[in-house]
Structure 1
């Protein structure tokens, strides 16, 4: 009888147990077979998603931190030459220098760190991640509000919520449903390279809360009349909450204040 490996609470493991969901996630990550030259899977688990990703990649590196599962994965994909099972922490991996994508059923407790890794990787083309639904909705503006991480990365990365997955499709079932997030690097950034540092400073200042409002925070670095004019150009009320400002409005603020 094959050995079973109970999920580890310490590793925040909730294995994807629905084949249709795994196939759907793979199609979202790589729409056409053999399209991805290099794909990194984070948290391969027992290979439920790996099975569907493998035919769609020329090279698939499946990362798994749980040592108990490494032999299971290697045995399962021993005859699938494009799959390399990598035992160890995905976050310790060095990002490839050539274009690559990322996909995975992400441990909820490590989502932010994994997303940060993806955003810092210069050669990343896109990431398709199964995350906690609340995280997915917050980061993609689905609640009608936006977070610092999303706005700060917006000129280079587009964020989209592309699906929802019920908690009952995992084993063990988590306490909440999941969402599928797509983070795509823009082929043409919305800002020139020289402007990105000034963009980062503007957004971080705005989200700092210093002064009690976005308008007051920006006035710490810009004359009041310029901030007023920038808000008018962006179509924003001076009393607007920082989280309510969509990335497109931030771009208008930046254009006016950076002139």
Structure 2
């Protein structure tokens, strides 16, 4: 296992050692993310707003989150934003090892003090989670994450080669949009669907957090597929087709794809996937996207219009 990239850990007098991320470690960045957006704290201009901290105050919810992660005694778990340790309390006895990343220095120190005994199997790292390097062995991610950092954290998870699953407590609206709860599907979900499943496991009432945020939370579950729906070697080709579909201006998926593929082939591909030829892009389910892609690019198919030019 490659350890998280840290500088020499500081020591407080007569206190626990807390690992700290190196500032030189590159961050995973989401160009659509805005740091100044509303956090979980209802707009109070204080340190909690800067860190977007809302602590899970209900043990039953924390236990449920860990149960969703299906942690076993053989598992390595990376926890994002443990805060006061509400979820850590249930992760520690269930997992082989827990690496807990906490941005708030005071909370990191307190948690390290609580788990100073190596036998408890918890290592506390003070620093920004998205600046950490993922483990080089199979691991899962669990966390009550800051709403303002959701895009960055999800991207980190999707890019981690050895991640098997992630259970994230995040803003309910985000989880709904990513899992098609409104009948519409986002680009990021469709792009990753052949390799990752997305599921909204449930809703968490805002009153189970302290301080109480302005909105309810949702538990988002990401799972790496044991058998990809599209071969990894065709990832770039799949991405190009999906981006072509989402890149149309106010039209149907058929119109978007017909800019590059012959119209007859597009109609046949949509019909084979059960998609109406006039369906807007956002209403096409991720599993239908996979069928459309395979129909357009399967064995025996000729290339796109662009590919035949010249």
User: Quick check: TM above 0.5?
Assistant: yes
- 1:171-213: CA deviations, max 9, x gaps? 0111111111110001111112222111111111111134633
**CA RMSD after TM alignment:** 1.4
In structure 1, the partner of 2:89 is 51
Instruction: Give the aligned length.
Output: 252
Matched, 1:60 2:98: yes
Deviation at 1:64, TM superposition (A): 0.3
CA contact under 8 A between 1:7 and 1:172: conserved in structure 2? no
Superposition pairs for residues 170-249 of structure 1, below 5 Å? 170-210=209-249, 212-249=251-288
Residue 29 (structure 1) aligned to one of 60, 69, 86: 69
In structure 1, the partner of 2:51 is 11
- 1:50-71: CA deviations, max 9, x gaps? 1111111111000001112121
Name structure 2 gaps, 5 residues minimum: 1-45, 299-310
Q: What TM-score comes out, normalization by structure 1 length? A: 0.93
Using the alignment, how far apart are the partners of 2:109 and 2:134 within structure 1? 24
Q: Please, which moves more after superposition, 227-236 or 164-173?
A: 227-236
Task: Tell me: CA distance 1:13–1:55, structure 2 relative to 1, closer, same or farther (3 Å).
Answer: same
In structure 2, the partner of 1:150 is 189
Segments ≥4 residues shifted beyond 4 Å: none
Residue 76 (structure 1) aligned to one of 104, 114, 124: 114
Superposition pairs for residues 108-119 of structure 1, below 5 Å? 108-119=147-158
2:165 is paired with a residue whose SS is: strand
Using the alignment, how far apart are the partners of 1:28 and 1:16 within structure 2? 16
Larger-gyration structure (1/2): 2
2:198 is paired with a residue whose SS is: strand
Q: Please, which moves more after superposition, 154-163 or 210-219?
A: 210-219
Name structure 1 gaps, 5 residues minimum: 1-5
Residue 123 (structure 1) aligned to one of 162, 176, 185: 162
1:10 is paired with a residue whose SS is: helix
- 1:107-138: CA deviations, max 9, x gaps? 00101110000000110000000011111111
